[in-house]
Amino acid sequence: METLSYVLQQLINGLQLGAVYALIALGYTMVYGVLRLINFAHGDIFMFGAFTAYYLIAKWDVPIYLVFPITMAVTGTLGFLIEKIAYKPLRSAPKIALLITAVGVSLFLEYFLSLNSLFTPNYIGFPRPFEVTGYELPLFTVTNVQIIIFAVTALSLVLLYLLIYHTKHGRAMRALSHDQEVASLMGIPVDGIISFTFIVGAALAGLGGILYGFAYPQINVFMGIMPGIKSFIAAVLGGIGIIHGAVLGGLIIGVSEVFVSAFLSSTMRDGVIFFILFLVLLLKPSGIFGKWIDKV
Amino acid sequence: MKALEASGLKKSFGGVQAVDDLTFSVEEHETLGIIGPNGAGKTTLFNLITAIYKPDAGSVTLFGESLRGVPAHRLSHLGIARTFQNLRLFNSLTALQNLTAPILAMKGYGLNAAIFKGHRYVSIERSAEEKARTILDFFQLSAKANLAPNNLPYGDQRKLEIARALCTGPRLLLIDEPGAGMNPKEIRDLLKILRQVKEHFRLTIVLIEHQMGLVMNLSDRVLAMDFGEKIAEGTPAEIKKDKRVIEAYLGDESITC
Amino acid sequence: MSFFSSAKRFLICSAIAYLLLKGLFLSGLLTQYIQQIILFSFIAILTSLGLNVIYGYTGQFSLGHAAFYGIGAYTAAYLGALFKVDSILTFLPVLCLAGAMAGCVGYVVGVPILRLRDDFLAIATLGFGIFVKVLFDNSDRVSEVLGGSRGFIGIPKIVNLEVAFFAMVFLILVTRNLIFSRYGLFWQCIKDDELASTAFGINTARMKLMAFTYGCVLAGVGGALYAYLYSFLHPSNFDFLRSIDFLIIVIVGGMGSITGTIYAGLLWVALIEGLRIGLPAQVLEFRWVLIPLFLIIVMMWKPYGLLARKESKFLGLGGNG
């Protein structure tokens, strides 16, 4: 069954990409849930993760099991700083000012890293600290990279669920996303929880960056733009503000992208993503898992 | 002729029955007061009448014409105007512009006139401004015509809210808790103004209000609601003594108001 | 009152500005490059003014404005190639058609998406913008001359000081008249409180669509002027960053201020180009680090923009000429 094998292969490839998108989408959805803010700089945090990992592996020979936590700590800190410095002062300003600021932060990160004195605006090869090997199964091949991505993503999701649904912090986050005013009246430290949300989201994005580097080992300071937008669309698709929505959305977008590339044309790849977006917005803007809004 | 007739109105939100099988009518030129505890469904009722929500069941008739399927923005052309419980004034505009906007929405000029500023534009704008100023005068807000609404004292904002509703030349005026958050002096002023509005404009009025002084003094009849249902209807005197009303408000028969 | 008498002061200011500019251009003091930048700033002002109507006045959050700018540019360039446009006279109808085309697309897109809540409208317009760019990248599949990702070359250089300046002045005047009419009033009502607007007889869906369509027409005209100024179109000129450019001009200048858009348009272009010219070569790449920092600082200092809702009496842009 040649075609079935091809389809399954593309499915696996799509899920690989989708897993990365899911990790990024989680950050968007969590921040939106808590602050109703679309963090335009989030894609660049993903990029920063990839670059941090590059630096650790290529320049400092850090063993792989340390690269993950260090990178996530770095991007988590970056997320924290961005929120404290750029977003917090504008919390009572009109949303548009926040948006422009987010765009400003995004551009700043991109161009700052592109300075020749730091990195370069060109593509850099990402050093995989291992050889890629494929495991041939009856119908398709799975690479060790893919296994790593699926395993790491699954593990992160389990940990995230435990965090959101079984810890005080997670409960506080959920409370905040329902009603900020009441949550603060109930004694929840709003600022602290918002920071916490940013840190977690940013750490996940950083993780996505590492995995992306493993899978597609060409990194570039502008690499966060398109995945950022697509992950955001994934979050909307699944239901913005809803955790499992981000995951499902990411997987759907990843698979769709790979399928379109494989079966239609690679130049149409991005166009289809937006077609999906329009369908969602026109039919059910609150997304797959969202409530039906009685929009009047 | 009945100005407003509601029949079997029902509306629920995710399991909560906000309005439950409500039927009542208002005669022309009558003032109907609506009272009830918070959450009784009073504002929801207004929202149903003004097409902000679509009823799950039931109908609303205005001067004999059914309002089914009429889009919200057409209602002012049919003669309904309302005020909002949480003031919804246009804060980017001046007080005067808050009044000219509805006037120009009722009768205006087209794009040609707007771009080329010919005679039609000038005369319609002028008459709109005149009418707006007349209404501002009536509410003694003329001195504040060029201020933004959120720079006005709260009592004036409430008056402006009512003034704006009158700009569409309505036959039926729905007023939602005009006295909310007012001190006794402001309430007395409001009572005076509303009496003058009643006299001068000869409208049919439906008034939601918690301040018993206002309701009982202005209304010809009163409708009491609780949990989305009508629990009593009658003259102010009758309602004051109605057991179910007393219980709904105070939960105890032994206290009288 | 009439179209001209209601704007005496503005027209006089414009005439003086034109004479000054003409003098400068003829004097030879300005290089070709600088002249082109100045004309581009007029185009930027015009396009951003369209976005100001959509967002600054009516409150509709559009992140895809560059798409309509691009549609105008490509339409104008294509028609020009088709009908062998080579002079200002033959250019003018193409200019109008380009604006109309952008307006029509805006209308068609607007009907379904303008009823979305602001965050979702932002996403929808963002998506549309990227979608259009993808179309431009693949445009050579439709017609070879459109150039696809290689770009559209060979557009005649027809736009000069007169064309750019007078197009801008004319459309500023039309926009101003619309703003200071009942339409502008309704747009601001909608921005403040859509529900209340509906309650008082304003057909908000229609007014929103009107603002959006008009803004897209201005973007289309801007794009057409751009095409015939730079003679070359590349899809990367019409991407999300370009939409952000226009948004920055509107926000920094001040929402709901025509004067603000004018000043900010000039300032923004001057800043970008000024840094390109002014910075020594070694630090040139710092431009794009400084610019976002500048943005962030402005937003923190004046979140409503530098000139929110104020109009310059000096330029005669206020209500009554």
Per-residue pLDDT of chain B (257 residues; tens, 9 = 90+): 888 999 999 998 877 888 888 999 999 999 999 998 887 889 889 999 999 888 889 999 999 899 988 999 999 999 999 999 889 999 989 999 999 999 999 988 998 888 888 889 999 999 999 999 999 999 999 999 999 998 999 889 999 999 999 999 999 999 999 988 888 888 888 999 999 998 888 899 999 998 888 888 899 999 999 888 888 899 988 888 888 888 877 654 444 44
Q: In this complex, is the C-beta atom of B52 within 8 Å of any C-beta atom belonging to chain A?
A: yes
For the record, the structure tokens of A63 come out as: 């063993």
Nearest by CB to residue B88, choosing from C2, C177, C196, is C196
- Rounded to a whole number of angstroms, the distance from the CA of B35 to the nearest CA of chain C is 23
Q: By C-alpha distance, which of C77, C78, C69, C206 is closest to C128?
A: C69
Q: Chain A to chain B, count of Cβ pairs less than 8 Å apart?
A: 5
- All residues of chain B having their beta carbon less than 8 Å from the beta carbon of residue A294 are 13, 53
> In whole angstroms, what is the distance from residue A239 CA to residue A251 CA?
13
A225, closest residue in chain C (CA to CA): C240
Chains that touch C (3 or more CB pairs under 8 A): A, B
Q: In this complex, is the C-beta atom of B157 within 8 Å of any C-beta atom belonging to chain C?
A: no
Residues B52-86: b if buried by 16+ CB within 10 A, e if exposed: bbebeebebbbbeeebeebebbebbeebbbbbbbe
Q: Tell me if C202 sits within 8 A of B105, measured CB to CB.
A: yes
Nearest by CB to residue C2, choosing from B81, B116, B168, is B116
For the record, the structure tokens of A281 come out as: 């917005």
Q: In this complex, is the C-beta atom of A96 within 8 Å of any C-beta atom belonging to chain C?
A: yes
Chains that touch B (3 or more CB pairs under 8 A): A, C
Question: Which one of C2, C182, C209 makes the best mutation probe of the B interface by having the most chain B beta carbons within 10 Å?
Answer: C182
Nearest by CB to residue C188, choosing from B92, B113, B122, is B92
Q: How many CB atoms lie within 10 A of CB B50?
A: 21
Q: In this complex, is the C-beta atom of B114 within 8 Å of any C-beta atom belonging to chain C?
A: yes
CB C303 to CB A89 under 8 A? no
Chains that touch A (3 or more CB pairs under 8 A): B, C
- Rounded to a whole number of angstroms, the distance from the CA of B69 to the nearest CA of chain A is 13
Q: By C-alpha distance, which of C101, C105, C40 is closest to C72?
A: C101
CB A38 to CB C119 under 8 A? yes
Measure Cα distances from A175 to A29, A83, A187, B74 in Å: 15, 20, 11, 40
DSSP code at position A126: -
Q: In this complex, is the C-beta atom of A296 within 8 Å of any C-beta atom belonging to chain B?
A: yes
Signed CA dihedral, C141, C144, C147, C149: sign only: positive
- Rounded to a whole number of angstroms, the distance from the CA of C115 to the nearest CA of chain B is 15
For the record, the structure tokens of C47 come out as: 């396009």
pLDDT one digit per residue (tens) for chain A, 296 residues: 458 888 888 999 999 999 999 999 999 999 988 888 889 899 999 999 999 998 888 888 888 888 999 999 999 999 999 999 999 998 888 777 888 888 889 989 988 888 766 667 777 778 777 777 888 877 778 888 888 899 999 999 999 989 988 988 888 888 888 877 777 777 888 888 999 999 999 999 999 999 999 888 888 888 898 899 899 999 999 988 888 899 999 999 999 999 988 888 777 788 788 888 888 888 887 888 887 654 43
| ipTM reported for the complex, 2 dp | 0.90
Predicted TM-score (pTM) of this structure = 0.88
Q: In this complex, is the C-beta atom of B90 within 8 Å of any C-beta atom belonging to chain A?
A: no
